[in-house]
Amino acid sequence: MDASPSLQLIGAWSRAASDAAPLASPLARQPRLQDHLRREITPQRTAVLLGLILLSIATEHFCPPEFGIQKADRWKPYAVVDSICMGILLIADGLPPEAVLLALTVIYVLAGIITEHEAFSGFSSPGVLAFGALFVLSEAFAEVKVLDALISRCLGSPKTLLTAQFRITVPVAVLSAFFNNGPLVAMLVPIVQAWSQRHGHSAAQLLMPLAFASTLGGTLTIIGSAANLLAHDRARALDPPVDIGFFDLTPYAAPLGLLGLCYMLVAGPRLLPKSTEVGRDGQVTRSPSKSQRPGAFPQFTAFTADDMPSEAELVEPDQLRRYHILFVVRSRCPSIGCSLFDMGMTRLPDVLVLELRREGQPLQDTFGTALAAGDFIKVAAGAASIARLRKAYDGLEPAVHKDLATLGPHRRHRRLFEAVVASNSALVTEPLAKQKERLLRKAGSVILAIRHSSSEAAAADLEARSPLKLVPGDVLLLEAFPDCLDRLADFSVVAAVESSKPPRRGRQQDRLRGLLCLFGFVLAIGLNGLGFLPLAAAVLALDFFCCCARVLSWREAMRGVNGSVMMTIAASFGISAAMTKTGAAAALANALLNVGLRSGPFGVLCMVYCGTALLTNIISNTATCVMMIPVAVHVAKQLRQSDGCENIDEKTLLFLVIFAANASFATPLGSPSNILVVDAGNYTFGDFVRFGGMLQIIMMWATCSALYYFPCS
């Protein structure tokens, strides 16, 4: 399913660029209105607008199309088409899609092209409300880690790349039929990255199939993507209304998705780049990314037991920022019986395994010994890597887990912090053991690890040094509640570690919450599929249940709803109304028919598919769906009047638009799933054209053939 346009490539890049821009000095000259206008109204955009206006004038003068409206209103369809073309250009230039679509809708209202009710009917649409509620549901499932456990079991330990791709794409395609694409892919990208590193596979050959599988799976059900819900909502507004059931897309989407998965499995090893190479000896080489994804692991070298260097040799500038931390293997850990090498810990970047202890004694074969409950693993890692390590391995917890349990049940509010000890802190005057109790009692914080200020101490074994006191400048890695550290004046600098929320698993209530969420979701989807409960009401009821069960707080649920995608979908209703009311959709449909009918009804289907697929690879699939649905409806009405085309009705053309609008494979521009894997897999634009372009052609012929030979009527 689709994520928000904040995850869509064009909008995300423009906002990321503005966020990353340095703040202007208060003394610097502030830009004036003329400067803003000069920057936005560029000569290129002005030339395109003038060209569109001249083309409209020439079209009206030499070959005026039939709009079916009064002569005095013939300027309106030209204004709509020209403004939509300019909107596509602005989106391609980096403006947020939701801002462009909403601006066009407001302009149409002010110009008298559509009414206010027609422009803003999307804000009261049950389909839009249901899609927003699905964002909250995705956040809830990410919190209870149900999908993480399911995906981890599906991935297993494949030996070949083909098996790895199969184990990733199939479950993702199934899950994407019921969950938002963006949050699902965003949740799975770090899992697949770490999993590929642990098992010696190239992440670049797994992440693009992951994104494409989520896109293919999103067409299986009506809630699979925003385009599906939008088409469902617009179909009910037709006269007569067209009903699209929850699983009506499945008979077509299942074989099409299977065909797409087969293509990826066959062509993936040959067409996808190989940016990561991992050998059996643990040596890892990665080509650097042009822009590292925030929170991504840096380049690293892992060592086996035979070539492990001494700790004196490990003291390098970047390693001085590492902590030495002790993890304990709990009895619930699924990795019990596996060695550290089999677990992939020797391949994790920025994580160096120093020692494996059993019953207080270090083991000689650190990486080849099978783990047992109660074993201790000493690692050297950065703060962010420690946070990721806790999430990657269930049952692997810091050795101070008993102290963490005393912090209380509200784990979702806790974070990791790096705190620099101040010179006037009581931590430097009294024994550390006593100060640990004070931090736990007064600030609700637990020390996980210590990094000493001197380079010799930083590289040394903390337990061998046995520090009784800290010194100013030492850095503590703490787990605490964000507002608790303000109660102490012991630290000169406190910095939160990004994405360091502790995983909520291991307790009985965690498993119970996960099972209840999964059962509630299956029940809600089942009741809606059988027609007993509207989709929006079913999903909203499940959202309220998740908040009542403390899976999410109400504030977290509200933050989970992305306003950008909601605005994009709601504003697109006005665009659709303008195209229909002015006759622009009918004129475009007639043009497609005149060209496509030369090859028969199949040619018409191909023309509609090509036009939709071209737009969806440039702008978002929701905007594409809005623009093409009125065209598809008029094409269907005209086809009914042609010989041999009586079976191709509005529902068939709507299905064609749905499949084509979701088929954004040839570029990273149209799909939020694609942008999420661009940097993670170090892909280029050419990688998408080479691997996804052929898939685009295959899906076009397969979709048009399926709907031509097996129409919905």
Question: What is the domain-level CATH number for residue 457?
Answer: 3.30.70
Is residue 149 domain-shared with residue 267, that is, in the same domain? yes
CA distances 593 to 590, 646, 692, Å, are 5, 15, 28
- CA torsion sign for 439, 445, 448, 454 is negative
pLDDT of residue 79: 92
Per DSSP (E only), the strands in 172-304 are 276-278, 284-286
Pairing assessment for the beta strands 475-480 and 415-421 based on DSSP bridges:
antiparallel
pLDDT at 644: 64
Residue where a domain terminates, one of 345, 379, 399: 399
* pLDDT value at residue 464: 44
Cβ–Cβ under 8 Å, residues 600 and 608: no
Shared-domain flag, residues 262 and 339: no
φ/ψ of residue 315, rounded to 5:
-80, 95
Amino acid at residue number 514: G
Pair 453, 342 in one domain: no
Q: Any idea what the CATH number is for the domain that residue 349 is in? A: 3.30.70.1450
Asked if residue 351 belongs to a domain, the reply is: yes
Nearest residue to 588 via CA among 631, 538, 633: 631
Q: What tokens appear for 677 in the block?
A: 């894997």
Over its C-alpha atoms, the chain yields an Rg (Å, rounded) of: 29
Buried b (16+ CB within 10 A) or exposed e, 55-74: ebeeeeeeeebebeeeeeee
Question: Tell me, what's the pLDDT at 459?
Answer: 41
User: For residue 126, is it within any domain?
Assistant: no
> What CA dihedral angle connects 532, 537, 539 and 541, to 10 degrees?
-100
Same domain, 271 and 188: yes
Q: Provide the number of structural domains found in the chain.
A: 3
Token pair for 521: 């979701």
Distance between CA 431 and CA 438 in Å, rounded?
11
The first and second tokens of residue 705, run together, are 């053939």
Give pLDDT, residue 257: 94
Instruction: Name residues whose C-beta falls within 8 Å of residue 403's C-beta, 6 or more positions apart in sequence.
Output: 436, 440, 446
Q: Tell me the pTM.
A: 0.68
One domain for residues 219 and 344:
no
Q: How many CB atoms are located within 10 Å of the residue 571 CB?
A: 26
Domain annotation covers residue 546: yes
441/470 same-domain check: yes
User: What's the mean pLDDT when you consider all of the chain?
Assistant: 79
Within this chain, do residues 392 and 257 fall inside the same structural domain, yes or no? no
Q: Is residue 175 part of a domain?
A: yes
- Of 68-77, 415-424, 455-464, 485-494, give the lowest mean pLDDT range: 455-464
Contact 404, 344 (CB under 8 A): no
Q: Which residues are 192's β-sheet partners?
A: none
On whether the CB atoms of residues 302 and 343 are closer than 8 A, the answer is no
String of DSSP letters for 137-174: HHHHHHHHTHHHHHHHHHH---SSHHHHHHHHHHHHHH
Three-class DSSP category at 215: helix
| 123 part of a folded domain | no
Report the distance separating Cα 453 and Cα 443, nearest Å: 23
d(CA 142, CA 280) in angstroms, rounded, equals 33
Give the pair of three-digit tokens for residue 586. 């009918």
Question: How many Cα atoms are found within 13 Å in the side-chain-facing hemisphere of 108?
Answer: 35
Instruction: Return d(Cα 594, Cα 631) in angstroms, integer.
Output: 14
What does residue 147 show for φ and ψ, rounded to 5 degrees?
-70, -35
Whether residue 179 lies inside any domain: the answer is yes
| Residue range 189-232, pLDDT digits in tens | 877 877 787 777 788 889 999 999 999 999 999 888 888 888 88
Q: How far is CA 54 from CA 57, 66, 89, 407, 564, in A?
A: 5, 19, 17, 70, 34
Among candidates 529, 565, 560, 527, which has minimal Cα distance to 230?
A: 565
Together in a domain, 199 and 167: yes
Provide the domain limits for residue 449.
Answer: 411-496
Q: How many CA atoms lie within 13 A of 693 on its CB side?
A: 7
Tokens of 49: 């607008």
Highest mean pLDDT among 4-13, 143-152, 327-336, 434-443: 327-336
Both 392 and 333 in one domain: the answer is yes
pLDDT-derived band at 19 (thresholds 50, 70, 90) equals very low
> In terms of pLDDT, which residue wins out, 464 or 230?
230
Give the Cα separation of 87 and 447 in Å (integer). Answer: 53
The count of residues in the chain is: 713
Return the exposure string of 241-256: e unless at least 16 CB atoms fall within 10 Å of the residue's CB, then b: ebebebebbbebbbeb
User: Who contacts 655 (Cβ-Cβ below 8 Å, separation ≥6)?
Assistant: 249, 252, 707, 712
The identity of residue 306, as a single letter, is D
Query: Which helix (H) or strand (E) element contains residue 378?
Result: strand 376-381
- Which pLDDT band holds residue 650 (cuts at 50, 70, 90)? confident
Q: So what's the pLDDT on residue 181?
A: 77
Q: Are 161 and 254 in the same domain?
A: yes
Strand order in the sheet with 475-480: 445-451, 475-480, 415-421, 491-496
Residue 233 pLDDT > 70: yes
The last residue of a domain, from among 496, 519, 540 = 496
State how far the alpha carbon of 646 is from the alpha carbons of 649, 650, 652, in Å.
7, 11, 11
With a pLDDT cut of 70, the percent of the chain lying above it is 84
pLDDT at 368 over 70: yes
Phi, psi of 512 (to 5 degrees): -65, -45
Q: Are strands 415-421 and 351-358 parallel, antiparallel or unpaired?
A: unpaired
Region 573-591 average pLDDT: 84
Q: How many angstroms separate the CA atoms of 627 and 615, rounded?
A: 9
> Residue 21 above 70 pLDDT?
no
More confident residue, 472 or 7: 472
CA count, 13 A, side-chain hemisphere, 113: 29
Q: Are 145 and 505 in contact (CB under 8 A)?
A: yes
Same domain, 257 and 338: no
Question: What is the layout of strands, in order, in the sheet containing 361-362?
Answer: 361-362, 351-358, 376-381, 323-329, 396-398
Look at residue 635 and give its three-state secondary structure: helix
Q: Is residue 104 part of a domain?
A: no
Cα separation of 154 and 152, whole Å? Answer: 5
The residue from 496, 519, 536 where one domain ends is: 496
Residue 321 shares a structural domain with residue 438:
no
Confidence at residue 41, expressed as pLDDT on a 0 to 100 scale: 76
Neighbours of 16 (CB within 10 A): 13
**Domain contains 708:** no
- Identify the helix (H) or strand (E) that includes residue 379: strand 376-381
Classify the C-alpha dihedral 450-454-455-460 as positive or negative.
negative
